[in-house]
Amino acid sequence: MNTINQTNFQFPKLKSVYKGKVREVYNINDELLVMIATDRLSAFDVIMPRQIPFKGQILNQIATKMMNDTVDIVPNWLMATPDENVAIGHLCQPFKVEMVIRGYLSGHAAREYKAGKKILCGVKIPDGMKENDKFSPEILGPIITPSTKADNGEHDEDISREDILSKGIVAEEDYIVLEDYTRKLFQRGTEIASKRGLILVDTKYEFGKTKDGKIVLIDEIHTPDSSRYFYADGYQERQQKGETQKQLSKEFVRQWLIEKGFQGKEGQQIPEMSDEKIEEISNRYIELYEQITGEKFVKASTENVMARIEKNVLDFLSK
């Protein structure tokens, strides 16, 4: 199976290339960004040694669909998706924070809470909550827990609204817009998930400014890499019994790594993933795609995948 690990394209008018954990971003003439979703798998901010077949295609296609389904409430950077693994859009200056929003006490928030941390990013979490409990609106509703946008290889760090403003990371008038957009997107994402029998548990959004100063949504949205979903059916029952929630997200990869003694900490060895494990993760991502979008996943041809991507991008750029 041909998977996409690294790309090395020389597109016309190429100014620079940024290689993130999963995506590789080509700056064309300081006007356009060509974003290629690779099949790399990242967990605990560490890139795993092996790639997951079709993962890049899945993330790119979910993000595209969700961008199109939310553009009426929040403007975004996207112009076109000329290839299954490629998104092309306006060059933006990214804000140096990720806007994380949580409707439930899950994942990182639950781990912090369990460790005795009752204040997360300046937000006080009520006593007596269980993992995967909902943050009820009368208490504090979905909570925004931002994190700093780490450079390559570093960990994102939790940060409060107060620190973001006091350190001048984002101007207050801009931050008010980011919060407003974050809540609107989460509400729409919750509605979309509900139609699919899912609960949008938590997610992150990234924003940037276009050359004319407009704040827009960038990167990905509502994908299993950036979001956590539970199956709505049986959620309440499982909570009452103290059972693990049935979920759709990358959390199953994190849990497997934790069981193998890996959480991205210094000195820890990344456990080896067998061919069977790789196939299982790929199948889980396909299941995620079909559940989240309600559409059958169609595998793109992986024969000469680099040539396919290059041709489709060049065709778009030549127009």
Same domain, 105 and 77: no
Determine the pLDDT at residue 22.
Answer: 92
Of 16-25, 35-44, 138-147, least confident by mean pLDDT is 138-147
Whether this prediction's pTM lies above 0.85 is answered by yes
Q: Mean pLDDT in the chain?
A: 93
Q: Has residue 54 been placed in a domain? A: yes
CATH of the domain at 25: 3.30.200.20
189: its two tokens: 């994402």
Q: Quick: pLDDT tens for 266-293.
A: 999 999 999 999 999 999 899 889 999 9
The predicted model gives 301-311 an average pLDDT of 95
How many Å apart are CA 47 and CA 55, to the nearest integer? 14
Q: Has residue 264 been placed in a domain? A: no
Q: Has residue 265 been placed in a domain? A: no
How many Å apart are CA 6 and CA 23, to the nearest integer? 9
Range of the domain at 112: 97-248
Same domain, 110 and 206: yes
Same domain, 82 and 103: no
Q: Has residue 299 been placed in a domain? A: yes
Same domain, 178 and 210: yes
How many Å apart are CA 105 and CA 150, to the nearest integer? 23
Same domain, 106 and 240: yes
Q: Say how many domains are in the chain.
A: 2
Side-chain half-sphere exposure of 151, counting CA atoms within 13 A: 0
CATH of the domain at 222: 3.30.470.20
